[in-house]
Structure 1
Amino acid sequence: MKENDMSLDTLQDVYVDQLQDLYSACEQAQKVMDDLTAKAESEELRAALEHGKSGISDGRAQLAGMIKAHGADPKGEHCKGMQGLVAEARAHALDAEFGDGAVRDAMIITQYQRMTHYAIAGYGCCAAFANRLEHLDDAKTLGGMLDAAYSGDRHFSGIAMGDVNRAAAE
């Protein structure tokens, strides 16, 4: 039995479980974002991380509303996948020793994008479930969250391929 004692008998059950997983993922990611932002050297990267923090917070609030609308507790699941990604971010971007701030910035981007890719997978699956279950308002909201995650991922790639990776390679 899962730690939240929820039986996954229907697609609706899977849908709510995965919304809770995403809620937990956002909650955990939010906690490491302040530290990543504080360590970033690039102004452009710091601004992007601040925007990312806002997006995570907004997403968490939207997920909480959806979960409650389906009669469940947003905190019904603990996302072990994001727990691992956050531990990796701390180990590789925060706790590691770097000889240069630009090299750390490159690692911060790497770790942030790994967390973002987890969100992309989750939002995509949940949006597909919502569409199949005809939860059309949820599907629209999740589609918007998915689009925002893709956009953020592309923005971080642009930062990396611009000044950060060039400075880190010098």
Structure 2
Amino acid sequence: MATQSKSKDSKFKELFIDELKDIYWAEKHLVKALPKMSKGATSKKLADAIDKHLEETKEQIKRIEDVFEILGMKAQAKKCEAMDGLVKEAESILEDTEAETMVRDAGIIIASQKVEHYEIASYGTLVAFAKKMGMGDIADLLSKTLEEEKKTDVSLTKLAESEINEEAAAE
């Protein structure tokens, strides 16, 4: 019975590591995409919010690398099909909307929030897994990122509701 339990634990840890590789790829891919979204924004507040998230994302990548180090592994990325699709969708919004409009900004916020929600789901699961495996130090690192993602989502919602959506609807 102990062998079966050990096998289940290692499969669970394998799943955790696989998801960690996935979000590592996602964050690295996002670092390349965020500057395009910032450049495409009309609103200075939106561009600033995206730029702030870019800097946070760079720190989040370092945290993931720290997690790999704690696990005694070299940081590895595995293509995240979900983030790849979300970034392609964001690029499509930039292509399909007129430059320097609030409609484009509303689209950028939609795309950004889809990314945030994916990240919140991913980090929430990784934190729960780390806690379940008794890896409190890893859970703490990933929790910092989870909280940043939640704050970014809230700030995007406030920006959309306070001005962007109203101006976009009037265009």
Aligned residue runs from structure 1 range 5-154, under 5 A: 10-92=11-93, 94-98=94-98, 101-154=101-154
Bigger share in helix: 2
Instruction: Give the count of matched residue pairs.
Output: 162
Tell which structure's C-alpha radius of gyration is larger: 2
Give distance in 1, aligned partners of 2:99 and 2:140.
45
Whether the 8 Å contact between 1:16 and 1:70 is mirrored in structure 2 is: no
Specify whether residues 146 and 50 from structure 1 end up closer, same or farther in structure 2 by C-alpha distance, changes over 3 A only: same
Deviation of the 1:111 alpha carbon: 0.3
Deviating 4+ runs (over 4 angstroms): none
Deviation of the 1:95 alpha carbon: 1.2
> Which sections of structure 2, spanning at least 5 residues, go unmatched?
1-8
Letter in 2 for 1:150: K
TM-score by length of 2: 0.90
Deviation of the 1:72 alpha carbon: 3.0
Give distance in 2, aligned partners of 1:120 and 1:99.
29
Letter in 1 for 2:114: R
Whether the 8 Å contact between 2:86 and 2:114 is mirrored in structure 1 is: yes
TM-score by length of 1: 0.90
Whether the 8 Å contact between 1:20 and 1:67 is mirrored in structure 2 is: no
Whether the 8 Å contact between 1:33 and 1:53 is mirrored in structure 2 is: yes
1:163 aligns to 2:163 (yes or no): yes
Letter in 2 for 1:137: D
Letter in 1 for 2:106: A
Give the superposed CA RMSD: 1.5
Give distance in 1, aligned partners of 2:105 and 2:77.
34
Whether the 8 Å contact between 1:102 and 1:165 is mirrored in structure 2 is: yes
Give the % identical residues.
Answer: 27
Give distance in 2, aligned partners of 1:60 and 1:78.
15
Give distance in 1, aligned partners of 2:128 and 2:32.
28
Give distance in 1, aligned partners of 2:129 and 2:21.
14
Whether the 8 Å contact between 2:25 and 2:80 is mirrored in structure 1 is: yes
Give distance in 2, aligned partners of 1:76 and 1:61.
13
Give distance in 1, aligned partners of 2:10 and 2:127.
19
Whether the 8 Å contact between 1:124 and 1:146 is mirrored in structure 2 is: yes
Letter in 1 for 2:52: H
Letter in 2 for 1:109: I
Give distance in 2, aligned partners of 1:121 and 1:83.
16
